[in-house]
Structure 1
Amino acid sequence: MRHVLGARTSRRSLLTGALGLGATAALAACGGTNDDTPSASGSAAAAGPFTYTDGRGKQISLPKVPTKIVAQVGAAAALWDFGIRPIGIFGPSTKADGTKDPQAGSVDLAAVTSVGNVYGEFNVEKYLSLAPELLVTCMYDPKLLWYVPEESQPQIEQIAPTLGIQLSEVALPKAIGYYEELAGKLGADIKTPEITAAKAAFDTADAALKTAAAAATAAGLRVAAFSGSKDTLYMSIPKYSPDLSHYLAQGVPLTVPTKPDSEGAWWESLSWENAAKYPVDVILYDARTQALPSAELIKTQPAWAQLPAVKAGQIVDWYSEAQYSYQGYTPALTELAAKLPTFKKVA
Structure 2
Amino acid sequence: MSLSVMPRRGFMAAGLGLVFALAACGSGADTASPAAGGSPAASGSAAASGAGSGPWTFTDDRGKKLQAPARPSRVVAQVGAAAALWDFGVRPVAVFGPHRLTDGSKDPQVGDVDITKVESIGNVWDEFNVEKYISLQPDLLVSGMYDKALWYVPEKSAATIEQVAPTLGVRLNGRSAPEIIKKYGEVAASLGADLGAPLVTEAKAAFDAAAAALPSPATKKLKIMAIAGGPETMWVVNPDDHAGVRYLRELGLDVVVPDKVDEGGFWESLSWENADKYEADVILVDNRTQSMKIDEMKRKPTFAKLPAVTANQVYGWNSEERFSYKGFADLLQKLGADLSKAKEL
Under a length normalisation based on structure 2, what TM-score does the superposition of the two structures give? 0.87
Match of 1:215 in 2: 219
Match of 1:174 in 2: 179
Match of 2:137 in 1: 131
Unaligned runs of 5+ in 2: 1-5, 27-34, 40-46
Question: Compared with structure 1, are the counterparts of its residues 70 and 213 closer, same or farther at alpha carbon in structure 2 (3 Å cutoff)?
Answer: farther
- Structure 1 position 152 matched with structure 2 position 157: yes
- Structure 1 position 18 matched with structure 2 position 20: yes
Partner SS, residue 135 of structure 1: strand
Question: Compared with structure 1, are the counterparts of its residues 38 and 166 closer, same or farther at alpha carbon in structure 2 (3 Å cutoff)?
Answer: closer
Match of 2:73 in 1: 67
Q: Distance in 2 between matches of 1:38 and 1:184?
A: 10
* Candidates 97, 103, 117, aligned match of 1:97: 103
Match of 1:285 in 2: 285
Shift of 1:15: 6.0
Partner SS, residue 182 of structure 1: helix
Q: Distance in 1 between matches of 2:278 and 2:307?
A: 11
Partner amino acid for 1:257?
P
| 1:102–1:322 Cα contact (<8 Å) kept | no
Between 119-128 and 69-78, the greater mean CA deviation after superposition: 119-128
Number of residues paired by the alignment? 323
Unaligned runs of 5+ in 1: 1-5, 24-36
Give the aligned CA root-mean-square deviation in angstroms: 2.4
Partner amino acid for 1:161?
P
Q: Give CA deviations for 1:179-199 in whole Å, capped at 9, x if unaligned.
A: 111111001112112211111
Q: Distance in 2 between matches of 1:161 and 1:317?
A: 37
| 1:213–1:337 Cα contact (<8 Å) kept | no
Partner amino acid for 2:340?
P
Partner SS, residue 109 of structure 1: coil
Question: Compared with structure 1, are the counterparts of its residues 320 and 16 closer, same or farther at alpha carbon in structure 2 (3 Å cutoff)?
Answer: closer
Shift of 1:242: 1.4
- Structure 1 position 79 matched with structure 2 position 85: yes
Shift of 1:162: 0.8
Question: Compared with structure 1, are the counterparts of its residues 214 and 151 closer, same or farther at alpha carbon in structure 2 (3 Å cutoff)?
Answer: farther
Question: Compared with structure 1, are the counterparts of its residues 9 and 188 closer, same or farther at alpha carbon in structure 2 (3 Å cutoff)?
Answer: closer
Between 150-159 and 250-259, the greater mean CA deviation after superposition: 150-159
Match of 2:246 in 1: 245
Question: Compared with structure 1, are the counterparts of its residues 38 and 168 closer, same or farther at alpha carbon in structure 2 (3 Å cutoff)?
Answer: closer
Match of 2:38 in 1: 40
Question: Compared with structure 1, are the counterparts of its residues 105 and 13 closer, same or farther at alpha carbon in structure 2 (3 Å cutoff)?
Answer: closer
Q: Identity of paired residues, percent?
A: 47
Match of 1:309 in 2: 308
Match of 2:226 in 1: 225
Q: How does 1:251-266 map to 2 (within 5 A)?
A: 251-262=252-263, 265-266=265-266
Partner SS, residue 204 of structure 1: helix
| 2:175–2:243 Cα contact (<8 Å) kept | yes
Q: Give CA deviations for 1:117-154 in whole Å, capped at 9, x if unaligned.
A: 1111111111111111110000122x111111112100
